[in-house]
Amino acid sequence: MSALGEKVVWITGAGSGIGRAVARMFAAEGASLVLIGRRARMLRNVYDEVCASGGRGEVLALDVCRREQVEAAASGLIERHRRVDVLVNNAGLNVRGRKLGTLTGEDWDQVMQTNLTGAFNMIHAALPAMRKQQDGLIINVSSMSAKRVSGVAGTAYTASKHGMNGLSLSVSAEEGRNGIRCTALMPGAVNTDMLEKQTIVYSAEERARMIQPEDLAQAVRFLALLPGRSTVPEMHVVPTLSRAPGA
């Protein structure tokens, strides 16, 4: 059995893209999955894929922005599964009006609440169980826009990912003594549906040269298999050939 076979893994934004690929990877390793997202139908589709390949777990339709709902859901999950070993904070979004001249206050709030506050809510809910275990891994799917301001990702998204990196480093600094590790996983351009909200149109050839969701799933696998004595605070994953700016 894989070293990940006994792990309980929570994945947010599990209904598509990176979250779906990460779920399929952990299912292949035999882990018990909790697929979290707002769109129940998409989660169910991923769950069916996971089960068809011999995976196991459950679906949880949840808006990570709603702290009280997150806390209640986490309590139920821990009661059922007894532990949480890995939390993958992948839920995220962007808007069309990204530059300051077009970015609205409502769009700013939506991006920050989902990308940053949502990640905090999930971490806050998982930490008590991880502290009790004296073990746990948190992977925050950030972005290279947290390191490189390209203008393509936009003001709100870039700010949210800078915040996510700061959150990740703070978790590592404060919770390492409890055996809890945290990584900010920073991909460059990834071939997901989020590209459809950009003003730039990429060709099929360009999208094929970008990072694929399955590539990031393998990066997550590496982090999950790393011995608990070692931590990767930040991981950069960029396309080898694509000139496309970071998402």
Collapsing DSSP to helix, strand or coil, 246 comes out as coil
pLDDT for 246: 46
Query: CA 86, 174, 21: angle at the middle one, nearest 5?
Result: 25
pLDDT for 149: 87
| Residue 165, H or E segment | helix 155-175
pLDDT for 247: 45
Residue 150: strand pairing partners: none
Measured CA to CA, the distance from residue 221 to residue 224 in angstroms comes to 5
pLDDT for 1: 62
The two structure tokens encoding residue 198: 């950009």
Q: Which of 114, 111, 130, 119 has the alpha carbon at shortest distance from 164? A: 119
> Can you give the pLDDT of all 247 residues of the chain as single tens digits?
689 998 999 999 999 999 999 999 999 999 999 999 999 999 999 999 999 888 899 999 999 999 999 999 999 999 999 999 999 999 999 998 899 999 999 999 999 999 999 999 999 999 999 999 999 999 999 999 999 887 788 999 999 999 999 999 999 999 999 999 999 999 999 998 777 666 678 888 888 889 999 999 999 999 999 999 999 999 999 999 855 444 4
pTM of this structure? 0.93
Sign of the four-CA dihedral 124, 121, 60, 89: negative
pLDDT for 206: 86
Q: Which residue has the tokens 């073990």?
A: 135
Q: CATH assignment of 8-237?
A: 3.40.50.720
Q: Just list the catalytic residues.
A: 157
CA distances to 1, 30, 64, 84, 206 from 160, in Å: 38, 33, 15, 25, 26
How is the beta sheet containing 136-141 ordered, strand by strand? 56-61, 32-37, 8-12, 86-89, 136-141, 180-187, 234-237
User: Tens of pLDDT along 140-164?
Assistant: 999 999 998 877 889 999 999 999 9
Domain boundaries, the chain: 8-237
